[in-house]
């Protein structure tokens, strides 16, 4: 009778389950967690994940005074923390003006070691405020080897990890190949007190492979310290198309990987470039959670409900359906025989 009773009990529970109200989630029906708890033994109740993380993006202008820029960044980080930010992100190469508009050997004097003076001060600030800081620095690795590096500082002041920019542009007014050796650390993500963070840098924004690999390593939030703008004499329509494309491709990364994406840009006129600001945070379905202005400094705050990552990936299971057995041609520079022969 014991086995029969168990079968009858299971059948009864399934019948009750089928009668429970359902909610719609991105086109799929799902039982509400409280309904499932009614059928779950006490002590094994399903728990709601309360992991809501607040991001703060520091969009600012820069001067020729590196010390003043660092002090300014520290003040803005404090402001962001007062607004509730738990993870605060600075723009690309925040300690200086964007010097890559020309090839000048004197600019190598701006580089520093990691750990070094900037990370020492920012680590102390992270520890004091109990926040995570993502900072983009001009790293001197050794004589003649320099990197464009994003450092993730955890809330206890330790260095959670660093990422060296992999994609190095060489375009008019963006002569980065003169200064930066391509990164050699891959596309990692780093566990911090509040979330797992993948830190990529500017030009990396345009490469879906970078976002995918950082996401596959477990990133919940992709952060892009950025320095991007337009030449003031460019036609307004062209400039608008460029900015729209910049935002759109990063929102696509959020959708394709089911992650949050934060892009923090500088603002203001520097030499022949006008940086367009518009720092933003996108959710895992590509929605804009908050966006900054294009013509002024700003501290952008956005709340990220990490529970959405599970919800989105369950409804849009892109990771499940990837054909990893069929992607080896991605390692080719170009597929010269498009018919596969």
| Residues 277-291: tens digit of each pLDDT | 999 999 999 999 999
Between 82 and 8, whose confidence is greater?
82
Average pLDDT over residues 310-328: 96
Residue with tokens 């955890």: 154
- pTM value is 0.85
The per-residue pLDDT for 285 is 96
Do residues 180 and 146 lie in contact, with contact meaning Cβ atoms separated by under 8 Å? Answer: yes
Residue 301: beta bridge partners?
56
Residue with tokens 């708890």: 37
- Structure tokens belonging to residue 22: 């359902």
Do residues 179 and 139 lie in contact, with contact meaning Cβ atoms separated by under 8 Å? Answer: no
**Average pLDDT of the residues of the chain:** 88
Q: Annotated catalytic, 165?
A: yes
Cis peptide before 115 (omega within 30 of 0): yes
Do residues 131 and 87 lie in contact, with contact meaning Cβ atoms separated by under 8 Å? Answer: yes
| Spatial distance between the Cα atoms of 183 and 164, rounded to a whole number of angstroms | 4
Q: What is the H or E stretch that residue 153 is in?
A: strand 145-153
Q: Is it the case that residue 246 has pLDDT exceeding 50? A: yes
The CA distances from residue 92 to 19, 61, 153, 321, in Å, are 54, 11, 15, 34
The CA distances from residue 311 to 72, 157, 194, in Å, are 39, 32, 19
The per-residue pLDDT for 257 is 98
Q: Annotated catalytic, 162?
A: no
DSSP state of 112: B
- Residues with Cβ within 8 Å of residue 211, at least 6 apart in sequence: 198, 200, 204, 222, 253, 256, 257, 259, 261
- Going along the chain from its start, the domains and CATH numbers come out as 20-49 (no CATH), 52-320 (3.60.110.10)
Catalytic residue among 72, 89, 92, 139: 92
The per-residue pLDDT for 43 is 34
- Structure tokens belonging to residue 231: 């030449």
Q: Annotated catalytic, 92?
A: yes
The per-residue pLDDT for 341 is 57
Q: Can you state the angle between helices 208-216 and 236-257, rounded to 10 degrees?
A: 30
List the beta strands (DSSP E) in 189-293.
Answer: 190-191, 196-199, 221-225, 229-230, 260-264, 267-270, 273-276, 280-282, 288-291
Average pLDDT over residues 227-247: 92
Kindly give the pairing relationship between strand 159-164 and strand 145-153: antiparallel
Q: Exposed, middle or buried, 121 (CB in 10 Å: 0-12/13-18/19+)? A: middle
Least confident of 13-27, 39-53, 171-185: 13-27
Count CB neighbours of 258 within 10 A.
23
Please state the separation of Cα 294 from the chain's center in Å: 20
The per-residue pLDDT for 236 is 87
Catalytic residue among 140, 202, 220, 298: 202
Catalytic residue among 139, 165, 270, 304: 165
């Amino acid at each position: 009778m014991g086995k029969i009773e168990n079968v009858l009990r299971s059948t009864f529970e399934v019948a009750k389950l089928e009668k429970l109200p359902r909610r719609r989630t991105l086109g799929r029906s799902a039982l509400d967690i409280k309904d499932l708890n009614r059928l779950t033994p006490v002590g094994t109740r399903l728990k709601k994940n309360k992991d809501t993380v607040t991001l703060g993006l520091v969009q600012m202008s820069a001067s020729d005074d590196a010390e003043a820029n660092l002090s300014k960044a520290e003040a803005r980080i404090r402001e962001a923390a007062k607004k509730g930010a738990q993870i605060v992100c600075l723009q690309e190469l925040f300690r200086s003006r964007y010097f890559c508009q020309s090839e000048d050997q004197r600019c190598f004097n701006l580089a520093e070691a990691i750990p070094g003076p900037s990370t020492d001060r920012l680590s102390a600030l992270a520890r004091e405020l109990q926040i995570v800081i993502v900072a983009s620095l001009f790293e001197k690795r050794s004589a003649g080897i320099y990197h464009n590096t994003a450092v993730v500082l955890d809330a206890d002041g330790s260095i959670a990890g660093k990422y060296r920019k992999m994609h190095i542009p060489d375009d008019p007014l963006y002569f980065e190949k003169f200064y930066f050796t391509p990164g050699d650390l891959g596309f990692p993500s780093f566990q911090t007190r509040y979330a797992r963070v993948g830190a990529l840098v500017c030009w990396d924004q345009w490469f879906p492979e970078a976002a995918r690999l950082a996401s596959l390593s477990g990133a919940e939030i992709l952060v892009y310290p950025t320095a991007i703008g337009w030449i003031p004499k460019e036609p307004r329509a062209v400039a608008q198309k460029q900015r729209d494309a910049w935002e759109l491709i990063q929102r696509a990364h959020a959708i394709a990987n089911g992650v949050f994406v934060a892009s923090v840009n500088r603002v203001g006129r520097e030499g022949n470039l006008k940086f367009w600001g518009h720092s933003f945070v996108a959710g895992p379905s590509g929605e804009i959670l908050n966006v900054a202005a294009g013509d002024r400094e700003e501290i952008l705050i956005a709340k990220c409900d990490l529970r959405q990552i599970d919800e989105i990936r369950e409804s849009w299971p892109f990771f499940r359906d990837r054909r990893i057995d069929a992607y080896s041609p991605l390692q080719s520079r170009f597929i010269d025989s498009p018919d596969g022969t």
